[in-house]
């Protein structure tokens, strides 16, 4: 048998689950099912996206402030406040990276499903 044409179990694990689950739509019923799946995850995606965008903006602002500070100045001493804010943020939002990863996964999944629906229509 030709093993080159058969994916290995490790390569299957690398393929996102939604690519294995959602294929070309062949019927209106299947399309409705995909639309329901899309809608089921869309609210979570929007919530996570808004949260991540707010946090990302905060990081961008803190980073920009840190870059403008010169050592030995009063402003540099104020940087301790920025470091404190970052530390406080990490304590108050410990799941940031997991939420960011989930948001990216949902974005890719929803884009895939939407593309299949548009192809069908």
Q: What is the pLDDT along the chain (121 residues), one digit of tens a residue?
A: 434 444 444 555 688 999 999 999 999 999 999 999 999 999 999 999 998 888 778 777 777 777 777 777 777 676 767 777 777 776 777 788 898 899 999 999 999 999 999 999 8
Distances (CA, A) of 47 to 18, 69, 100: 20, 34, 11
Q: Residue 98: how many CA atoms within 13 Å on its side-chain side?
A: 4
3-state secondary structure of 26: coil
Token couple for 77? 């001493």
**What pTM was estimated for this model as a whole?**
0.69
Distances (CA, A) of 37 to 7, 8, 73, 107, 109: 27, 28, 55, 13, 10
Query: Could you tell me the sign of the dihedral formed by the alpha carbons of 19, 119, 49, 29, in that order?
Result: negative
């Amino acid at each position: 048998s030709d093993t080159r044409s058969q994916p290995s179990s490790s390569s299957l694990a690398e393929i996102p689950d939604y690519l294995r689950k959602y294929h070309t739509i062949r019927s209106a019923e299947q399309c409705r099912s995909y639309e329901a799946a899309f809608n089921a995850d869309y609210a979570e995606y929007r919530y996570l996206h808004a949260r991540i965008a707010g946090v990302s903006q905060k990081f961008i602002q803190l980073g920009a402030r840190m870059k403008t500070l010169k050592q030995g100045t009063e402003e540099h001493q104020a940087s301790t406040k920025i470091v404190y804010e970052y530390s406080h943020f990490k304590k108050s939002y410990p799941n940031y990276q997991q939420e960011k990863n989930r948001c990216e996964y949902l974005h890719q999944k929803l884009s895939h499903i939407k593309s299949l629906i548009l192809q069908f229509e």
